[in-house]
């Protein structure tokens, strides 16, 4: 029977009690594992086994070019200026006495990528805005109501979507006169992406605003036109923060009443962040070259170190998180290499041995592996132990059991999928998702991020375990859906198991277009769940934000114009443009005219 794109479907497996404690690399498991049968002797593998290839292109990035990325911008030279500008902005926040002006300022701090410099001040200001419900503007102005709603939800405050009831007419639809208020419509559109499940008024708001904005966008002033196109392409809540900051600076400078201090600060901070990106990127790039795995597996696997770094930079971008960016880059490059071994190159016998070796986590286990797998296993083993050592040395926390367990769970999921492929089995969508939300790698990535950002992973209580497990599962789905939308067509061509789209087509007997819409609907539902965690979970907001960032980078990687394509495995000019702007091109701070729009159609 066809699964409906409804709330009950998602909530029927999310969170999944059966998987709660075991499936997501959270609680370290004992070694023995019944569901995986492994022989313990070396596989008799033959070089004549027919093997597939990913047919992936070599990296588009030259190693020497990456090593040459050293910005002229010197953080120390501008430090005093940055402090002065920060003080100016803090004063501005205090002195702005209209709630709307204050919210617009906070919104600009977000969009310009400097919100993290003013965390305390923003928190205080929003708290005041939360308590102030005497302000009439906050009830009747669509832009003001929408911005207030969005900012408060984004910061974890409980606000009801009922505030939008006042904008409906007697027939229950949104008032048609609203369509003349473009600014308000745009704000409502952005706010609608902060919905929880079941808030139909926000689904209506999204449909209403999308349709009207689409209609009117041609006849408005050019800057507003850019903003509308950009928002309709990808909503603000789903965008990668630092890319958005770079784009928005070009808009902001043309804005009436823009604040030059704020723009200057945003540019200086962007340059500052870029220097840490460059340092981390050079370091991980050296690490990857020294390992030699890119070269060893070049006939079948993806060599995507720079792309992996881009993902890591999107997950945590502030300068103090350099160590986290490096570790996350390593895990992502390992994920794509090992995923290619399971999906493309390895035989099921070999994959069982690899899974067993990771499960046992000892060097003896390496002996049983075919030659080509030994380097990869040892590199993974060393990398995790090294990251674990650093944290143990500096903070006295042992995170190794969590990291290695994340890998055990991931390899088990990879193996299940490889067996589906070799037996020609098509699972139901739900069965597929239970495995593939792990195999997509984002729960492991998030586990690394938690470990590196100082989260104590020792389960303190069952609530804590449950909350971490929920967020890992949501992070899995946030990446799985866009990944399948962007990669499954090529995957099936090269020989891989059916992904969510095909499982749903098989199960519901629908066309690919219908199945794609269904998967996109599930992606939206997953956002609603994670939006709720932001308000309800007791985990630090920074961690929930990491999970959201994974969804953002996944969506922005795979969405291309009106369709989807594989921006990770097969990067093109859009990706190249993004890397250059984030990692290579510092902003000219004193440039009088600023910079012209550098991306067509607002697709960066």
Active site residues: 311, 332, 339, 343, 440, 483, 487, 491, 564
Residue 526 engages ligand 0FV in binding (rule: CB under 6 A): no
Distance CA 393, CA 375 (A): 26
Count interface residues toward Mn ion (CB under 5 A): 7
Nearer to ligand 0FV, 335 or 581 (CB): 335
DSSP H/E element including 176: none
Q: Exposure of 21 by Cβ count < 10 A (0-12 exposed, 13-18 middle, 19+ buried)?
A: middle
Between 314 and 333, how does the x/- string for binding to ligand 0FV read (CB under 6 A)? ------------------x-
Q: Which residue in the set 104, 107, 339, 507 belongs to the binding site for ligand 0FV (CB under 6 A)?
A: 339
Region near Mn ion per CB under 5 A, out of 133-141, 365-373, 410-418, 573-581: 410-418
What does 332 interact with, of Mn ion, ligand 0FV, none (CB < 5 to 8 A by kind)? ligand 0FV
Burial of 151-190, coded b for 16+ CB within 10 Å and e otherwise, reads bbbbbebeeebebbeebeeeeeebeeebbebbebbbbbbb
Q: In 3D, which of 61, 75, 76 has the Cα closest to residue 586? A: 75
Distance CA 173, CA 97 (A): 34
For the bound state, the minimum distance from the C-beta of residue 413 to ligand 0FV, rounded and expressed in Å, comes to: 9
Q: Which residue in the set 441, 498, 551, 571 belongs to the binding site for ligand 0FV (CB under 6 A)?
A: 441
Q: Which residue in the set 108, 317, 336, 502 belongs to the binding site for ligand 0FV (CB under 6 A)?
A: 336
Q: Which residue in the set 405, 439, 473, 526 belongs to the binding site for ligand 0FV (CB under 6 A)?
A: 439
Residue 523 engages ligand 0FV in binding (rule: CB under 6 A): no
Residue 240 engages ligand 0FV in binding (rule: CB under 6 A): no
What does 568 interact with, of ligand 0FV, Mn ion, none (CB < 5 to 8 A by kind)? ligand 0FV
Q: Which residue in the set 442, 500, 526, 574 belongs to the binding site for ligand 0FV (CB under 6 A)?
A: 442
Region near ligand 0FV per CB under 6 A, out of 107-115, 275-283, 335-343, 506-514: 335-343
Burial of 305-315, coded b for 16+ CB within 10 Å and e otherwise, reads bbbbbbbbbbb
Q: Give me the long-range contacts of 60-66 (CB less than 8 A, separation at least 24).
A: 60/571, 60/576, 61/305, 61/306, 61/579, 63/285, 63/289, 66/281, 66/282, 66/285, 66/306
3 state SS of 362: coil
Region near ligand 0FV per CB under 6 A, out of 9-17, 29-37, 441-449, 521-529: 441-449
Nearer to Mn ion, 146 or 337 (CB): 337
Distance CA 239, CA 113 (A): 12
Region near Mn ion per CB under 5 A, out of 215-223, 315-323, 491-499, 511-519: 491-499
489: CB partners within 8 A, 6+ apart? none
Residue 420 engages ligand 0FV in binding (rule: CB under 6 A): no
Instruction: Give the C-alpha distances (Å, rounded to integers) separating 458 from 204, 391, 398, 516.
Output: 42, 14, 10, 39
User: According to CB under 6 A, which residues from 561 to 600 bind ligand 0FV?
Assistant: 568
What does 515 interact with, of Mn ion, ligand 0FV, none (CB < 5 to 8 A by kind)? none
Q: Which residue in the set 190, 244, 483, 507 belongs to the binding site for ligand 0FV (CB under 6 A)?
A: 483
Residue 557 engages Mn ion in binding (rule: CB under 5 A): no
For the bound state, the minimum distance from the C-beta of residue 486 to Mn ion, rounded and expressed in Å, comes to: 7
3 state SS of 168: strand
Residue 353, CA atoms < 13 Å, CB-side half-sphere:
24
Q: Which residue in the set 244, 350, 417, 575 belongs to the binding site for Mn ion (CB under 5 A)?
A: 417
Burial of 279-293, coded b for 16+ CB within 10 Å and e otherwise, reads bbbeebbebbeebeb
Region near ligand 0FV per CB under 6 A, out of 168-176, 228-236, 437-445, 456-464: 437-445
Q: Give me the long-range contacts of 224-229 (CB less than 8 A, separation at least 24).
A: 224/182, 224/183, 226/251, 226/597, 226/602, 227/186, 227/251, 228/182, 228/186, 229/601, 229/602
Cβ pair 599, 226 in contact under 8 A: no
Region near Mn ion per CB under 5 A, out of 35-43, 132-140, 496-504, 590-598: 496-504
496: CB partners within 8 A, 6+ apart? 343, 344, 421, 488
For the bound state, the minimum distance from the C-beta of residue 186 to Mn ion, rounded and expressed in Å, comes to: 33
The residue nearest ligand 0FV at its CB is 441
Q: Which residue in the set 188, 479, 530, 604 belongs to the binding site for ligand 0FV (CB under 6 A)?
A: 479
User: According to CB under 5 A, which residues from 312 to 371 bind Mn ion?
Assistant: 339, 343
Structure-block tokens of residue 204 = 């209506």
Cβ pair 578, 604 in contact under 8 A: yes
What does 359 interact with, of Mn ion, ligand 0FV, none (CB < 5 to 8 A by kind)? none
Residue 487 engages ligand 0FV in binding (rule: CB under 6 A): yes
Structure-block tokens of residue 253 = 């400078």
Distance CA 119, CA 117 (A): 6
For the bound state, the minimum distance from the C-beta of residue 247 to ligand 0FV, rounded and expressed in Å, comes to: 23
Nearer to Mn ion, 343 or 470 (CB): 343
Q: Which residue in the set 144, 262, 335, 582 belongs to the binding site for ligand 0FV (CB under 6 A)?
A: 335
Count interface residues toward ligand 0FV (CB under 6 A): 15
Cβ pair 484, 499 in contact under 8 A: yes
The interaxial angle of helices 305-315 and 541-558, nearest 10 deg, is 140
Structure-block tokens of residue 457 = 């992973």
Nearer to ligand 0FV, 195 or 240 (CB): 240
Residue 549 engages ligand 0FV in binding (rule: CB under 6 A): no
For the bound state, the minimum distance from the C-beta of residue 303 to ligand 0FV, rounded and expressed in Å, comes to: 12
3 state SS of 52: coil
Residue 352 engages ligand 0FV in binding (rule: CB under 6 A): no
| Site residues (vs ligand 0FV, CB under 6 A) | 311, 332, 335-336, 339, 343, 439-442, 445, 479, 483, 487, 568
| Site residues (vs Mn ion, CB under 5 A) | 339, 343, 417, 483, 487, 496-497
């Amino acid at each position: 029977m066809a699964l409906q794109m409804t709330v009950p479907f998602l909530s029927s497996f999310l969170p999944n009690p059966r998987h709660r404690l075991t499936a997501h690399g959270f609680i370290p498991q004992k070694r023995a594992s019944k569901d995986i049968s492994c022989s313990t002797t070396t596989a008799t593998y033959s070089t004549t086994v027919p093997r597939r290839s990913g047919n992936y292109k070599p990296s588009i990035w030259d190693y020497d070019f990456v090593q040459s990325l050293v910005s002229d911008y010197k953080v120390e030279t501008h430090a005093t200026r940055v402090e002065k500008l920060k003080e100016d902005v803090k004063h501005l926040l205090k002195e702005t006495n209209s709630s709307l002006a204050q919210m617009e300022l906070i919104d600009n701090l977000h969009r310009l990528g400097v919100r993290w410099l003013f965390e305390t001040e923003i928190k205080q200001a929003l708290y005041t805005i939360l308590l102030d419900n005497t302000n009439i503007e906050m009830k009747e102005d669509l832009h003001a109501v929408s911005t207030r709603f969005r900012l408060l939800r984004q910061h974890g405050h409980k606000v009801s979507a009922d505030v939008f009831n006042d904008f409906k007419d007697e027939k229950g639809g949104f008032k048609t006169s609203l369509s003349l208020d473009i600014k308000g419509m745009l704000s409502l559109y952005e706010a609608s992406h902060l919905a929880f499940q079941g808030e139909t008024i926000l689904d209506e708001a999204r449909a209403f605003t999308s349709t009207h904005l689409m209609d009117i966008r041609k006849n408005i002033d050019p800057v507003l036109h850019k903003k509308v196109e950009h928002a309709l392409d990808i909503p603000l809540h789903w965008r990668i923060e630092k890319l958005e900051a770079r784009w928005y600076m070009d808009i902001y400078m043309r804005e009436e009443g823009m604040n030059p201090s704020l723009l200057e600060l945003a540019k200086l901070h962007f340059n500052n962040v870029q220097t840490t990106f460059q340092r981390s990127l050079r370091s991980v790039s050296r690490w990857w070259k020294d390992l030699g795995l890119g070269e060893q597996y070049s006939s079948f696997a993806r060599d995507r170190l720079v792309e992996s770094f881009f993902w890591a930079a999107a997950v945590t971008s502030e300068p103090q998180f350099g160590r986290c960016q490096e570790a996350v880059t390593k895990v992502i490059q390992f994920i794509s290499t090992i995923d290619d071994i399971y999906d493309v190159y390895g035989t099921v016998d070999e994959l069982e041995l690899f899974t067993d070796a990771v499960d046992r986590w000892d060097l003896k286990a390496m002996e049983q592996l075919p030659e080509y797998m030994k380097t990869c296993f040892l590199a993974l083993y060393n990398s995790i132990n090294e990251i674990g050592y650093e944290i143990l040395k500096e903070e006295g926390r042992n995170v190794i059991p969590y990291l290695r367990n994340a890998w055990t769970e991931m390899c088990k999921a990879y193996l299940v999928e490889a067996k589906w492929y070799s037996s020609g089995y098509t699972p139901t969508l739900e069965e597929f998702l239970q495995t593939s939300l792990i195999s997509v790698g984002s729960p492991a990535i998030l586990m690394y991020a938690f470990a590196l950002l100082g989260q104590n992973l020792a389960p303190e209580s069952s609530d804590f375990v449950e909350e971490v497990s929920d967020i890992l599962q949501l992070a899995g789905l946030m990446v799985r859906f866009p990944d399948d939308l962007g990669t499954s067509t090529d995957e099936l061509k090269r020989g891989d198991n059916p992904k969510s789209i095909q499982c749903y087509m098989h199960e519901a007997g629908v066309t690919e277009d219908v199945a794609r819409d269904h998967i996109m609907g599930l992606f939206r539902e997953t956002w609603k769940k994670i939006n709720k965690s932001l308000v309800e979970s007791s985990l630090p907001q920074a961690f929930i934000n990491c999970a959201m960032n994974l969804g953002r980078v996944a969506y922005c990687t795979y969405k291309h114009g009106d369709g989807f394509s594989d921006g990770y495995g097969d990067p093109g000019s859009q990706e190249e443009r993004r890397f250059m702007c984030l990692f290579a091109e510092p902003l000219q701070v004193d440039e009088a005219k600023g910079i012209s729009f550098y991306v067509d159609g607002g697709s960066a």
